[in-house]
Structure 1
Amino acid sequence: MTTCGHLDQVQDVTADSAEGCTDCLAIGSRWVHLRMCLSCGHVACCDSSPNRHATAHSGASGHPLIRSVEPGESWRWCYVDQALV
């Protein structure tokens, strides 16, 4: 794994949705996999999903870190460093 200088932005957050991608649910779209922002808890869809809401959220908010919320997965990703952390 690569060193990430953004781990100080990880907060003790709760997912803002247990139902799926918050943004896809709002527009009636679908998703493939879910990610959660580690700065604010926003749940959004992955880059394999049609709308790529997790990446869009990171770009709009400046929040660099996400984690997978898929069952059995525990990895985290930094958009800024383009690395698993």
Structure 2
Amino acid sequence: MDGIREAPAPSSTGCEDCLREGSTWVHLRACLSCGHVGCCDSSPRQHAHRHAHAADGHPVARSLQPGEHWAWCYTDELFLLPA
């Protein structure tokens, strides 16, 4: 949990990688280490998952869906809720 902080406001209106590639997403996730916005595992390209495994020390992402207040640790496969 070291290094996790509230992600900055998203700098894009969607998955950064999908927008660059011209692909689509289902839901958005924000890395709690660097703020990278990626698409969820239900999306065709699963960019949030790829980011978590490619970026050393960036295993936790939060949901960016309206009304959702949870995070997911890709390394430990843990669903995290706020205290």
TM over 0.5: yes
Residue of structure 2 in register with 1:26 after alignment: 20
Give 1:8 deviation, angstroms: 1.8
Q: Which amino acid aligns with 1:39?
A: S
CA RMSD of aligned residues (A): 1.2
User: 2-side partners of 1:33 and 1:72: how far apart?
Assistant: 13
User: 2-side partners of 1:54 and 1:12: how far apart?
Assistant: 16
Q: Percent identity, aligned pairs only?
A: 56
Say whether 1:68 aligns with 2:63: yes
Q: What is the CA deviation profile of residues 40-75 of structure 1, one whole-angstrom value per residue up to 9, with x for unaligned ones?
A: 000000000000000000111021100000000011
User: 2-side partners of 1:30 and 1:70: how far apart?
Assistant: 16
TM-score using structure 2 length = 0.88
Q: What is the CA deviation profile of residues 12-37 of structure 1, one whole-angstrom value per residue up to 9, with x for unaligned ones?
A: 43144331000000010100000000
Matches of residues 1-40 of structure 1 in structure 2 within 5 Å? 7-40=1-34
In structure 1, list runs of 5 or more residues that go unmatched: 1-6
Give 1:11 deviation, angstroms: 2.6
Matches of residues 34-53 of structure 1 in structure 2 within 5 Å? 34-53=28-47
Deviates more, 1:11-20 or 1:65-74: 11-20
* Aligned length, in residue pairs: 79
In structure 2, list runs of 5 or more residues that go unmatched: none
Higher RCO (C-alpha 8 Å, min separation 6)? 1
